[in-house]
A and B are shown apart, each in its own frame.
Chain A
Amino acid sequence: MSLVRHQGGKAIVLSFLVAFMLMAVPLPEWADPWRPPWVTLALIYWCLAVPDRVGVGIGWVLGLFLDVLTGTLLGQHALGLTLVAFITLRFHKRVRVLPLWHQSVSVLLLVVLDRSIALWVKGIQGLATADGVVFSPALTSAILWPWVFIVLRDVRRKYRVA
């Protein structure tokens, strides 16, 4: 039975790999602060879609890899993604049925949370950071969320991830 239930794991892994690569693609200087946190978005989607498979633990591991990828303090992204995964799991039944633009608002709030934790960690380290720019990824991810959602939903249907 479990074989039938748990299929399409490759699609999940692949989507996260693509998200990681998008995080590393060089952007011009002005666009860099606006880069949406692709890994966070993918994590939110999979937490909504298959909450019994993707959750807090996977979020934490992804966060650690993201820390290594972006060269931040080991644990900064891990903490953020853990909380994002937890909250998404908590409310996944409610958020899942909302219209897309309404989901965007939830995504905005989740990314703001993620960024606040990053800002807080930087603050504790004593590193001065640019003020309002920290939250610009939240805006871009809210705008891009409908497309992310549709693309990942198609991926999920194609590979019958359940």
Chain B
Amino acid sequence: MRLLVCVLASVLFMTVDHRRHHLETVRAAMAVIVYPLQFAVHAPFRGGKWLTDALATRRALREENERLRTQQLLIQARLGKYEELAAENRRLRKLLDSSVKVGDRVLIAEVVSVDMDPFSRQIMLNKGGNDEVFRGQPLIDAHGVMGQVMHVNPLSSTALLITDPGHALPVQLNRNGLRAVAVGTGATSDLELTHLPNNADVVVGDLVVTSGLGGRFPSGYPVGRILSVETDTGQPFAKVIVEPAAQLERNREVLLVWPGKEGASNKAQYAEGQEVRS
């Protein structure tokens, strides 16, 4: 009897969770209970990091400082040029009567080192609803797009990486603006551009950027580079593999982006829109 109730409840939960999002509050409430456990698992890693920082020698720190200084100088110089280009871009766009927003609001989140389901690509972040994180929020690192937020809990959130088999990302080639959809394969370092015809103008090494279609990801963020293009005349579409630019399995800190906003949250605007295929 109890078995029947539990099995039915499970099936009901799964159906509701898969089709609609009514159970997000239940999940968030339970996540708060689970969070101390995850935090406890994460604590030794955090302590280890703190310890390496604390025990770093003076020389190593000076060397790092030196390196960062040079890097900052380089980036500053490049940024100066970028500012100029952005201003020019704005001016030109004004001439074309279309507006574009540069400079999205971002927040640095730390990746909590806990393992999730091994058959999907997810990571856990230490920022949640209390920091205005919202469902579907884009996630980037210094090199490119990482994924989007799936579940928001008060203190933490989980994000789906772009390599998850259930994730699809609208992209375009930077060189010629050819649009495509980058679907995760489940492998750590592979994305696939689906439904590109055999004669599509795709060259190995092309930069792939987000197209902004679907309204979930801001346009123009780098996604990766074309790794291989296989054309088989027997197949209707070419098999195009993209290598993600973001360091999906390595980074400790990631950036949460509020697209097109420099101030207040914009939950309503991005709550709906393109649906994730999972």
Contact = CB atoms under 8 A, between A and B. Distances in A.
Pair from one complex: yes
Interface of A: 17, 20-21, 23-27, 29, 32-33, 35, 55-57, 59-60, 63-65, 68-76, 78-79, 82-83, 86, 121-122, 125-130, 134
A55 B2 contact: yes
B88 interface: no
Contacts of A74: 13-14, 17, 23, 26-27
A69 B124 CA distance: 10
B51 interface: no
B158 interface: yes
Contacts of A70: 116-117
B77 interface: no
B165 to A, nearest CB: 5
A82 B3 contact: yes
Contact of A35 (B12, B33, B37, B115): B115
SS of A interface (majority): helix
A65 B6 contact: no
A55 to B, nearest CB: 7
A69 B37 contact: yes
Contacts of B148: none
Residue of A17, A73, A78 with most chain B CB atoms under a 10 A cut-off: A73
Nearest to A137: B118
A15 to B, nearest CB: 13
B115 A27 contact: yes
B61 interface: no
B136 to A, nearest CB: 16
Interface of B: 2-3, 6-7, 9-14, 17-18, 23, 26-27, 30-31, 33-34, 37-38, 40-41, 45, 113-120, 122, 124, 150-151, 158, 165-166, 186, 188, 249, 277-278
Residue of B17, B40, B115, B158 with most chain A CB atoms under a 10 A cut-off: B115
Nearest to A68: B30
A25 B41 contact: yes
Contacts of A32: 115, 118
A73 B18 CA distance: 7
21 contacts: A20-B34, A24-B38, A27-B115, A55-B2, A56-B2, A56-B6, A65-B30, A68-B31, A71-B116, A73-B17, A74-B17, A74-B27, A75-B11, A79-B7, A79-B11, A82-B10, A86-B3, A122-B119, A126-B277, A130-B186, A134-B119
Nearest to B115: A26
Contacts of B151: 71
A75 B34 contact: no
Contacts of A57: 2, 6
Given A26-B113, A71-B151, A127-B278, A65 B33 contact: yes
A134 B115 CA distance: 16
Nearest to A34: B118
B120 A121 contact: no
Contacts of A129: 119, 165, 186
A24 B7 contact: no
